[in-house]
Amino acid sequence: MEKPFAITLDVGSSLANKTGSWRVERPVYIDRLPPCNDACPAGENVQGWLYYAEAGEYEQAWRQLVQDNPFPAVMGRVCYRPCETVCNRAQLDEAVGINAVERFLGDQAIEHGWSFEAAPPSSGGRVLVVGAGPAGLSTAYHLRRLGHAVVIYETGATPGGMMRFGIPKYRLPRDVLDAEVERICALGVELHLNRKVTDLPATMRDDGFDAVFLAVGAQLAKRAYLPAGDSAHILDAVSLLHSMEGASPPRLGRRVVVYGGGDTAMDAARTARRLGATDAVVVYRRTRERMPAHDVEVEEATDEGVLMKWLSTITEVDEGQILLEQMVLDDKGFPQPTGRFEKLDADCVVLALGEESDLSLLTGMDDVEIADGVVQVGPDLMTGHPGLFAGGDVVPAERTATNAIGNGKRAARTIDGWLRGETPREPARHELAGFEHLNTWYYADAPKTERPRLELVRRTSTFDEVVGGLDETNALFEARRCLSCGNCFECDNCFGVCPDNAVVKLGPGKRYEFDYDYCKGCGICMVECPCGAIVMEPERA
């Protein structure tokens, strides 16, 4: 073709110019570990299920959640929320109400009758689980999903462990607990109630199990010697709370003193208020700051009129009255007696000094190490006895239902590996998605949604649930407060901000891809990614 004056070349596209050759660093998409996931004792993929909840895909969210934890409705009520403590959003306005959304999903599942995917037929090992508390039930759930036959032996007439015989109804309604336990049993778990294991070696031998998970918790109340008159009324918190499940609640009198500073003490005092005590006083030998009870528990108890007496020990109990000695904290923070005494009216004293495990069933198993009253295990939760695993309150760990559930999951994995003769590989942990990785400019301001609470009058006269749930509207709102730390949520920023059109959008759910033919490696995408899901890596020579 004849070319105009001074033109010698045909018109070409700049696409011929592969500017990717300029690059010294290349952007790479990564997934970082959100702090909530990192902190969850049950190993939940919190960010993962919030991602579905944000879009209103509640069933999908629930299914993602129960990959790790079969108790969302229970957890959404009683978990002490380590996830919210570390939530990055707290540094922006307030932590995401993860627990409230979890409860919403759990309640939706119960309401709509969502069930677990059917477990594969039992083809692997046959595993005995001793104890149907959260640890035992969680292991059973995960083992069934891995294709093993599971048999649970439980002393009690109903399953649930301390979720039923410890945590009061006003925090965990029993129909909620029942629904989640039944759903686990429906996976084909063989649950034998009223079946106490007294001689574990014999049971293992006679009933032919390939492996055992010991999840007997800590059922025995710790006692303390208190000089007491004959007619002094003393009982322990574990029995008090346990008896609440029976037909006739115990009589405590009008003035009740609870001795101890843990969550159990708070529940005992709050229960006493509901049983008609006008005065419920918690006596603790140290200070508020040193109290092991969680803040929410103390606040809710105080709201309900429970009184606290710090820096005091009980030295004598008599009918209608007790004697307290005042304490001071020494340099190391230990309480020391002052020699100053005071009297306090009390119709009864409830001891909430902690719980111990009954390990008599292990008699004769010399290879199982016991220290400080609990069973010692390795990181795989196996005891010194091959094939005997243990978790929950019976091993040294934080005594929470959440931790027990997490132990159950971990044990199921290691038991599965042990039965197959493999060491299960720990899934690789991604680098933490700390706040410094986020570009928070892109998140709109949105304060947290508070859960409704029951009126105070009804909190001291009934066992109705205190904390209400979120409705669809505010659960969705709350889920959308998630920053999706470290995980792409398809905001299109990288796709939009690239001056070289070197980001390819792959379509909903498929995220993006870099076109390294043209990417010059400027790094704008990395800086403008809201959630820190892009890193720059040195270009290979």
Ligand X SMILES: Cc1cc2nc3c(=O)[nH]c(=O)nc-3n(C[C@H](O)[C@H](O)[C@H](O)COP(=O)(O)OP(=O)(O)OC[C@H]3O[C@@H](n4cnc5c(N)ncnc54)[C@H](O)[C@@H]3O)c2cc1C
Q: Which does 197 bind (CB under 5 to 8 A by kind): other proteins, ligand X, none?
A: ligand X
Provide the 3-class DSSP secondary structure of residue 344: strand
User: Is there a contact between 265 and 282 (Cβ–Cβ < 8 Å)?
Assistant: yes
User: Is there a contact between 369 and 103 (Cβ–Cβ < 8 Å)?
Assistant: no
Based on the shown chain and the rule CB under 6 A, indicate whether residue 298 belongs to the binding site for ligand X.
Answer: no
Other Cβ atoms closer than 10 A to 261: 24
- Restricted to residues 18-37, the positions that interact with other proteins (CB under 8 A) are 18-19, 22
Q: Which does 196 bind (CB under 5 to 8 A by kind): ligand X, other proteins, none?
A: ligand X
Based on the shown chain and the rule CB under 6 A, indicate whether residue 41 belongs to the binding site for ligand X.
Answer: no
Least CB distance from residue 200 to ligand X, whole Å?
8
Provide the 3-class DSSP secondary structure of residue 337: strand
**Residue 6, token pair as written in the block:** 């001074």
Q: Which does 219 bind (CB under 5 to 8 A by kind): other proteins, ligand X, none?
A: ligand X
Based on the shown chain and the rule CB under 8 A, indicate whether residue 4 belongs to the binding site for other proteins.
Answer: no
CA atoms within 13 A on the CB side of 352: 32
Say which residue the tokens 């759990």 belong to.
106
Distance CA 470, CA 177 (A): 19
Least CB distance from residue 401 to ligand X, whole Å?
4
- Restricted to residues 351-390, the positions that interact with ligand X (CB under 6 A) are 358, 361
Q: 388 φ, ψ to 5°?
A: -105, 115
Alpha helices (H) in 33-113, listed in sequence order: 35-39, 46-54, 58-65, 72-78, 82-86, 98-112
Q: Which window, 197-205, 219-227, 379-387, 442-450, contacts other proteins (CB under 8 A)?
A: 442-450
Here's the x/- map for other proteins, 114-153, by CB under 8 A: it reads as ----------------------------------------
Q: Number of residues in contact with ligand X, rule: CB under 6 A? A: 39
Nearer to ligand X, 51 or 80 (CB): 80
User: Is there a contact between 273 and 306 (Cβ–Cβ < 8 Å)?
Assistant: yes
**Residue 428, token pair as written in the block:** 């690789």
Least CB distance from residue 222 to other proteins, whole Å?
35
- Restricted to residues 165-194, the positions that interact with ligand X (CB under 6 A) are 166-167
Q: Which does 526 bind (CB under 5 to 8 A by kind): ligand X, other proteins, none?
A: other proteins
Among 188, 253, 417, 523, binds other proteins (CB under 8 A): 523
Least CB distance from residue 67 to ligand X, whole Å?
20
Distance CA 95, CA 440 (A): 14
Bridge partner residues of 206 (DSSP):
none
**Residue 189, token pair as written in the block:** 């778990």
Distance CA 411, CA 139 (A): 7
Q: Which does 442 bind (CB under 5 to 8 A by kind): other proteins, ligand X, none?
A: other proteins
**Residue 297, token pair as written in the block:** 């528990």
Based on the shown chain and the rule CB under 8 A, indicate whether residue 493 belongs to the binding site for other proteins.
Answer: yes
Among 127, 241, 317, 529, binds ligand X (CB under 6 A): 241
Provide the 3-class DSSP secondary structure of residue 423: coil
Among 37, 313, 383, 400, binds ligand X (CB under 6 A): 400
Based on the shown chain and the rule CB under 8 A, indicate whether residue 517 belongs to the binding site for other proteins.
Answer: yes
Among 178, 356, 358, 515, binds other proteins (CB under 8 A): 515
Q: Which does 481 bind (CB under 5 to 8 A by kind): ligand X, other proteins, none?
A: other proteins
Q: Which window, 64-72, 150-158, 221-229, 441-449, contacts ligand X (CB under 6 A)?
A: 150-158
Nearer to ligand X, 212 or 485 (CB): 212
Q: Which window, 191-199, 202-210, 352-360, 448-456, contacts other proteins (CB under 8 A)?
A: 448-456
Distance CA 466, CA 464 (A): 6
Nearer to other proteins, 297 or 304 (CB): 304
Q: Which does 121 bind (CB under 5 to 8 A by kind): other proteins, ligand X, none?
A: none
Provide the 3-class DSSP secondary structure of residue 349: strand
Alpha helices (H) in 361-484, listed in sequence order: 401-420, 456-461, 472-479
DSSP secondary structure letters along 131-186? --SHHHHHHHHHHHHTT-EEEEE-SSSSS-THHHHTS-TTTS-HHHHHHHHHHHHT
Based on the shown chain and the rule CB under 8 A, indicate whether residue 465 belongs to the binding site for other proteins.
Answer: no
**Residue type present at position 59:** E
- Residues engaged in binding ligand X (CB under 6 A): 78-80, 130-136, 153-156, 161-163, 166-167, 196-197, 215-217, 219, 241, 263-264, 267, 358, 361, 392-394, 399-402, 404
